[in-house]
Amino acid sequence: MSYLKNILLVDDDTDDQQFFIEALDKLENVTLSGLANNGKEALDKLLHSNKLPDFIFLDFNMPVMNGIECLAELKRMPLIKDIPVFMLSSAFEQSKLSRKLGAKGFIKKSADIAVFRRELQLMLDGEIVVNYIINE
């Protein structure tokens, strides 16, 4: 019996949400258990949830509370801090900061759904713990 992995997606862009959902659709044993449009909404959902997600995918740029602010709050919450968080963005500028704050990885948003799906699958399978492309 396979373990079903539950994902919370936090992204304000409806096109990006749909792209993410389409990418997940072809993956086995994965389900989108929640969707939030900004960091504050995500924190509210997590605090009032009966079942926490196994993974959180968090966009950087959102209104109300951005991804970096949300990540910092998530890592301060005892019941939530150990949930793996993967940052999503079309640019890498804040990937180093997100790593320091405790994100497990970073996926650059891609227009190629096959590439994006492969990145998602690798991260969900634990084959890529950190996928940062930065100069250190």
Q: Which of 12-16, 31-35, 104-108 has the lowest mean pLDDT?
A: 104-108
pLDDT at 130: 44
Domain 5-124 in this protein, CATH class: alpha beta
CB atoms within 10 A of CB 126: 9
Average pLDDT over residues 99-122: 80
Domain ranges of the chain: 5-124
Helix (H) or strand (E) holding 88: strand 85-89
DSSP 21-60: HHHHHTSTTEEEEEEESSHHHHHHHHHT-SS--SEEEEES
pTM value is 0.86
